[in-house]
Structure formats: structure tokens, C-alpha cells
Structure 1
Amino acid sequence: MSPRRAPAGPLAPAAGPDRGRRVLALGSVLVAQVMAVVDYNVVSVAIPWLLRDFPGSTLAGLSWTITGYTVVFAAVLLPAGGLADRYGPRRIYLTGLAVFTTGSLACALAPGPGALIGARLLQAGGGGGVVALGMSIGVDAFPGRRAQAFALFGAVSGIAAAAGPALGSALVALGGWRWIFLINVPLGVLAFGCGAFGVRAVRRDGTRGLPDLLGAAMLAVGVAGIVLGLVRGPDWGWTSGRVLGPVAAGAATTALGVLASLRHPRPSVDFTLLRARSTALGNGGMVLASVVSFAVPLAAALFLTARWDYSTLGVGLALTPAPLTSALSSWLSGPLLRRLGTRAVLVGGGIAGAAGWAWPAAIGSDGPYALVLLPALIVGTAGTTVLTIALQTLSMAAVPAGRSGSGSALIMLARSAGSAIGIGGLTALLHSASAAGFRAVWAGMALSLLLTALIGGTCAGRPPPGADGGRRDAAEGGHAADSVP
């Protein structure tokens, strides 16, 4: 028997006649990932220019360009993943890219704040579909090598996050705020073209008849209500009817949508995936890890300005080590998962991340940046990054190939939930930007990561036979005792 040939490189798609198609598919989802990461936060850079260009507009009104995008983006994730499992990812993914690109052009041409908000909602609808499916399409380009795929996506996201604020500021300074949307048009066309030729046209579900459209609508509306309450809670008041009403109604509607999906012969989302222990644990851990990863940039920026009086430029430079560390840690996560196994990486990453954020909680704000915050930004970010990639691998380990759309959509929804909880909790604790408030934030981050490490310590056993996360990916993890790659 001839020895098995080693892969050409850590990021190389599998060799064969369809190598070119896989490269195009991978290129498409990576470009789409960069657009999504940059676009998610770049509008905040343009708010001052929007207030100037739209006389009579208010900060509260324009904030809906961010809030509305977040709400619609989260609401679209699950239905998009479920529809992709039924009709194949290519159709839904390319539709999402077309909608996102059209929405970006509409944002760039918006004559007023109302039109801009509407265009942002359209953009978010397409972006949610693209992000929900990008992960599963990217994994298809790495057959049997999920950890490397997740590591690549993490590295690209880290670099995009590092460059995003600077890129947005440069575009606004050079051409005005409309350019932060206009740049998405050629990138969207490029991603669409690569995806059209690279993503396979495969119908994954052979059953006939319409899917559960009512269940999909209830899930979208329910998730939107919950996210709306969490995002607007700091401004409207956590105990106000405007917050409690949408959250309660959203939770009830989401529960009805889940029940409808479980009972329908053609569900819009396959929630039975959560019956697999690895899928449930991975997504639960993803919520906790995302609480930290999404709260860190805002918490650190507030700390630097409120406690140490840093300038805007100084804050940007001081935060740069975090996304750069994230990109490097993502790159190294694949080899770590192969050599140590998922359980070891989950526990080690959670402990390292917790130690990083426990450091400023223990020593307070007295001391230089290099002693107080820099160690947390490096150690805490590195631990959180490898932990997140291990959680993604765990979440998808028992997901069959025909249900990867729903599997990746569940991960992205868990990330969105963690983001909303993290930002909401952060604003509640830092209403006065006191030293005690920041200590509570750092301690809360450390506790969330410790709980995630505890989840990682319970991972054991093999994936179910026939699951896409079976033998090939189990070998990737390095240890048979660790259930997942």
C-alpha cells in the first residue's frame, strides 16, 4: 500500500479535477466574509458625516442604520440555513450576495436617512444569508479538514476587523461616507462571479413540496424581537415596556417557530441537530465565548478613553494588537486541533482567555498600558480565538453533510446572541464608567470563558456513524477519545 500523500499546504483545497472550482468557491466566501466583517461595524465611523449631510437627522434616528442591520441580519440566519439544506447552498448563497450588493448600492445612493435605513435592512437580509452559508460552503472546499477551514475564516476575520476601522475612516476621508457602501459593489460582483462558477449546484433535499414557510417566518420575527430588545435595552431602559415587550413576544414567537419546525415534515430549520451532544455543547459554548469576543473592543475602547483619556488615534493604535493576535491565533488553531484534540484546545483556550481577562480585574487601572491592558489583549484574545474555532469544530462534528446549512446557521445565531448579550451587559455595567464597573466587566469575561472551558472538559465520545464530522474529521483532531476533530 502506498503511503498517503500529505496535503500540499495548510490552506490548499483537495487536489483533483475540481480543484479550480473549489478555489473559486473558497475565494468567493472569503471575499464575502471580509465584506460582512467590515460592513457590520463600519457605519459607526460614518455617523458624524451622516449627521452633517442629512440636516435635521438625529443620532437616535441614524442609530437604526446599525440596530436595524443587526436585527434583520440575525433574523435571516436560521431560515437561510434551512432553505439551503433543502434547495442547495448555491441558490440561496448567490441570492444573498445579489441582495447584499444591491443593498450596498442603494445605501450609497440614498437621498435621506429613511432611504438609508431601508437600504441597510435590505443589505442585512442579504448579508445574513451570505454569512449563514459561507462557513458550510468554505468547509466543503476542505473535505475532511474542518479545523483548517475554521482557522482560515478566523484569520481572515481578524485581519478584516483590524483593517476595518482604518479602511472605513480612509474611505470617508477620501470620498465621503457613500464610499464605504460603494466599495462593496465591485467586491460583491467579484464574489458573485466566483461563487457562480465555484459553488456546486446541488439539491440536498429530495423531498417535494414547500418548506415550512410559517415556521421560518415565526423564527425570523421571534429572533428579531429578542435581538431588538437586547440591542436597544441600554437606550430604552431594561425594565421599560419597549424592551420587555419585544423580548417577551420574540421569545414566545421563537418557541412557536421551533415547535412548528419540529412537527413539520419539511422544516425550515432542522432543530433535531441539537439532539447531538456535541452540537448542543458547541453552540452553547459559542454563546458564552461570543459574549467576550464582541464585548472586548467596546470595553477596551471605553476603558482607554474614560479611565486614561486616550485620543481616538491612540485608542486605535492601542487596540491593534487584539485583532492581529486573533488572526495569528486563528492560523495556528488548525495545527493545535490536529495535534492536541478538540477537548484539550477548548479547555486550554478557555483557561488562557480567562487568565488574560482576569489580569486587569485583579490589578485595576493603576499602571501603564503595557502592564495593565496589553497582556489581556494578547493572552485573552489568543485564548478566546482558539476556543472559538474549537467550538465551531465541535458544533459541526455531528452535523451530516446534507444539513451543514442549518448547522452553520445555528453557529452564527449563537454568535449573534452572544454579541447582543455581551454588548447589553457591558452597557449595563459601565453606565458610569467607574473602576469598579470595569473590574466587573473583566471578571465577567473571565467567568464566561471559564464556563466555556468547563463545557469543553465534558466533550468525549465519537460522532454518530455517517455524520460528516465522522472518521475523516475525527482523525483531524488527533485523538479518538476526543469526539471531534
Structure 2
Amino acid sequence: MDSVGISNLVAEPPTRSAPHRRAAFLVVAAAVFVANLDLFIVNVALPAMQQHFQGSSLATLSWVLNAYAIVFASLLVVAGRLADRVGHRTVFLAGLAVFTAASALCALAPAVGLLDGARVLQAVGAAAMMPTSLALLLDSTPPAERPGAIRSWASIGGIAAGLGPVLGGLLVEADWRWVFVVNVPVGVLALAAGARVLPRPLAKEAGPLPDLLGALLLTAAIGALAVALVKGDEWGWTSARVLGGLLASALLTAWFLRRSAHHPAPVVELPLLRVPAFAAANTAALLFTVAFAGMLLTSVLWCQHAWGYSALRTGLAIAPGPLLVPPVALGSAALVRRLGAGRLAALGTLLFAGGVGWWSATVGLQPHYATELLPGMLFTGLGVGLVLPTLIGAAAASLPPTRFATGSAVTTMARQIGAVLGVAVTVSLLGTPGGPQTALDAFRRGWAAVITAVLLAGAASLALAATRRTQRIMVATGEPAAPAAAAAPID
């Protein structure tokens, strides 16, 4: 689950009444829903933004997506640790206020640069809301009811993914700015209710401040890499600017890793990455999200640019895939027990690759939705439902309980970094093709890159299966199995 600020839960069952608990859940659910929605709804609005901001290329507008994802990924752990110090309720309400105000600024933005800046502020608010939302939910829930509360909280992201394309299409029919305006009344109502019903934690965690410089280094490293990838075709892959961006990203990453190794409250606790199953699951999640982001963006752009679909029709065309994710995720528990997490995730990557491969082999310039786009959308939806919940669960299960929350945040961060890279690579491969056949060729290159990324995710998933099998063999033969707590001595 996507949280870090839950290390300081109350030790006793809360005495809050059931109506107060339900009200707190509704506040948390509303905030988590809009934060997740902004990861999906904006994709559908990109073509409308491009028409509004005339002269803006797809590469320029890709930062409307990437600015949000980069900052969200970099600040997630920092915000969670800060909330442990100053209070979950305080940080949650502050994040919700920032997110709501930034949504209004996005809707009012007169230029792409100002829109990108407002998206950065949105991401700051979302990063503060997400780790504290689950903590507040658990703070107000009796221990016996917490597993159900966690499942309900986790399902909100799946619901947002399913409704995002359709809701985005409906709003864009009026104006693309409405994809941001819709957050404002939800945020205002949640703030008013949250100030009254959210629990006040009984204790706060002492300790060092989170590594803010480390977060800035990670932001800069991902941003430099994304710029180099997005602009590679325009600037030339061997140009000084592209090579300089790649070098800067490598140096900043090295500085970030060195700082994380020595800081008392780092953004990433590096010993976690020495747990084999955790490292394999997160590698697979990152690579799979590269593929997922590329799949979603190419689907939206193909429907609107090549087939001439409206935003609403595009949302409806895409919706069957995301709508499959929640029921498949909920129904796959028996398969995890039977096949194991690694093999089930690998199966999901094959289904996903088959769906994108179907598009590459069958999609043409004349729209044939039922036989060309829909089958691939259904296969990719099945794949996402099998892969992401399985990998998230496997990553969490590989760690000791004391590091569950922080490890979950690292997994979320890996997925957001994957989304940035997926958008950047897709934009670079699509470029600005001229005629219809050139466009089809460009999209096929994009789909080939998606298939490559998802097959690499499948290989990492099989590596996860191998680590699990190795641990079982070592336990059966009496050898020390290097448990997670020993592999990550960070308490």
C-alpha cells in the first residue's frame, strides 16, 4: 500500500463512534480519490490542451504529466516522515489545502509553463495526503476492522483508474480546465469536514528531520533523465545537451545514493534493496509501470489523433481495461497462493504484452474498435490486475513489519519513476510524425517499446519467484535463509 506515515499508530482500540469513523473514512477517501484521479484523468485532456496552447508540442505538454509524477515520487517518503513528527492530521489537511489551491491554479493557468508549476504544487499536496491518509484511517479504526479498512483504502486507486478516462472525457467535452476544477469543490468540502472529524493522534515520533536535500537530488536526477529522453529526437541523441542531461542524471543519482547511505532519515533506506525479493519486486514494478504509462498515453493519442475520437469517446474506449483491474485484483488471491507471486506476475506481464502486441498487429488507420482496440484493452486490463497488486503485496511481505510502511513508500516511488520514464520514452518515440502512415509506424515503435519493457518486468517477476524458491529450499534443508530482518538491519 502506498504509505509511509503509519509507523506511529495508536496502540489501543479507538473509542470514536461509528458515525465519526465513517465520516473520517469519507474524508480520507475523497482526498485519496482526487489525488489518484490526477494520475489518470489528465492523459485524456492532453490533446485538448495541445489545441488550446497552440504551438505546444507533445514533448512540451508531457511535463503536465511528468512534473506531477516526479515531485510526487520524490516527496512521498519525506512527507510521511515529516507527518510522523508534526502529526498526521496536520500534514494531511495542509496537503489537501495545497492540492485544492493548486488545482484552481491549474485551471486558471494561461500558459504551459504556469500549468507545469501548478502541477508541481499539486504533487506537493498529493505527496502530503497519501502517506497520512491511511495513517488517519487506521487511527480511527478498531484493530479488528483494520484489514478491511486497508482493503477499502487500497481499492480507491483502482476505482480512480477505472473512472478516470471516462470522467476525463466528460469533463473535456466542456473544457479541459474542468479536469482540474472538479478537484476544488471536493477539496473544500473535505477540508471543512476533515477539520471536524479526523482523529488527533496521541503521540508523535521524535528523530531527525527527513532528508529534504536528498528529495531535491532525486527530483533533479529524474527530471534531467526525462528531459534528455523527451528531447533526444529534437536535439539529437549525440548532442551536448542530451549527453549532458544523461550525465547530470547519473551524477545526481550517485550523489543521491551516497547521501541516502549516510543520512539518518534518508528518502530511500538502501538496506531494503539488499532484500532479494524486495529488490526484484520493485524492479518489476518499475519496469511494468514504464509499460503501463506508455500503453495509456499511446491509447489516448491514437484514439484522438489517428481515429479522430472525441475526448468522451476516447474515455469510453479506454475504460474497459481499467474497469477490469479491481475485480481481477480482488479475485487473484487464490492464484497467488497456488502459483506464487512471481509466477502470477509473470503471467500477467505476458497477458499485457499480448494485448499491446494485438494492437501492433491489427490496428489500422480506419477505426475498428471491437476487433482492434477492445481486445488489447481487455488483455492489458487483465495484466494490470494480476501484476501490480501482486508485486506490491510481494514487496511488502518480503520485509519485517517494522519496515512495512517505508518499504511500501519505496514501491510507490518506483512506480512513479516508471511512469515518468514511460511517458518520456513514448513521447520520444512518437515525435511529431507527418502523414497517417508515418504516424502508424511511430505508434508501432511505441508499442514495441511497451512490449520490451513489460517483458523485462516479466523477467524480474521470474527472478522474484526464484528468490522465493531459494528461500523455501534453504529453510527445508536447515540452512539459514537470510530473513528480511537480517538482510535489512536498519531498526
Q: Which residue of 1 aligns with 2:8?
A: none
Distance of aligned partners of 1:256 and 1:232 in 2 relative to their CA distance in 1, 3 Å threshold? same
**In structure 2, C-alpha distance between the alignment counterparts of 1:71 and 1:359, rounded to whole Å:** 31
Shift in Å, 1:95: 2.5
Distance 1:276 1:165, change over 3 A: same
SS in structure 1 at match of 2:206: coil
Residue 311 of structure 1 aligns to a residue whose secondary structure is coil
> Where does residue 244 of structure 2 map in the other structure?
245
Matched residue, 1:417: 417
Within 5 Å, give how 1:125-274 maps onto structure 2: 125-131=124-130, 133-134=132-133, 143-144=146-147, 148=151, 152-170=155-173, 173=174, 176-193=175-192, 197-198=197-198, 201=201, 205-207=205-207, 209-233=208-232, 236-274=235-273
Aligned residue pairs: how many? Answer: 446
The answer to whether 1:94 aligns with 2:93 is yes
Aligned to 1:391: 391
CA shift at 1:339, angstroms? 7.1
Q: 1:370 to 1:214 in 2, by over 3 A?
A: closer
Matched, 1:433 2:436: no
Residues 61, 112 of structure 2: 8 Å contact kept: yes
| TM-score, normalised by the number of residues in structure 1 | 0.75
Gaps of 5+ in 2: 1-12, 432-437, 473-482
Distance of 1:228 and 1:20 partners within structure 2: 49
Contact 1:384 1:449 in 2 (8 A): no
Q: Which amino acid aligns with 2:36?
A: V
Distance 2:351 2:393 in 1: 19
The one-letter code sitting in structure 2 at the alignment partner of 1:224 is: G
Which residue identity does 1:260 align to in structure 2?
R
Name which structure has the greater RCO, CA cutoff 8 Å, separation 6+. 2
Please list, as runs of the form range in 1=range in 2, the aligned pairs for 1:56-67 lying within 5 A after superposition: 58-60=55-57, 64-67=63-66
Unaligned runs of 5+ in 1: 1-14, 468-485
Determine the C-alpha separation between the residues in 1 that align with 2:189 and 2:171: 20
1:458 aligns with 2:466: yes
8 Å CA contact 2:260–2:267 kept in 1: the answer is: yes
Return the alpha-carbon distance in structure 1 between the equivalents of residues 87 and 400 of structure 2.
14
Question: For residue 120 of structure 1, what is the aligned residue in structure 2?
Answer: 119
| 1:31 equivalent in structure 2 | 30
Q: Read off the aligned partner of 1:416 and give its amino acid letter.
A: Q
Q: How many Å apart are 1:284 and its aligned residue?
A: 0.9
Q: Is the 8 A contact 2:162 2:319 kept in 1?
A: no
- Contact 1:82–1:405 (Cα < 8 Å) also in 2: no
- 2:4 counterpart residue number: none
Q: Please say which of residues 133-142 and 376-385 is displaced more in the overlay.
A: 133-142
CA contact (8 A) 1:330 1:389 kept: yes
Counterparts in 2 of 1:17 and 1:132: CA distance versus 1, 3 Å: closer
CA RMSD of superposed structures (Å): 4.1
Please tell me whether the aligned partners of residues 287 and 457 of structure 2 are also in contact (alpha carbons under 8 angstroms). Answer: yes
Aligned partners of 2:72 and 2:124 also within 8 Å: yes
Q: Deviations over 1:347-376 (max 9, x none)?
A: 442343334334445667599543443222
- The 2-side partners of 1:185 and 1:164 are apart by 15
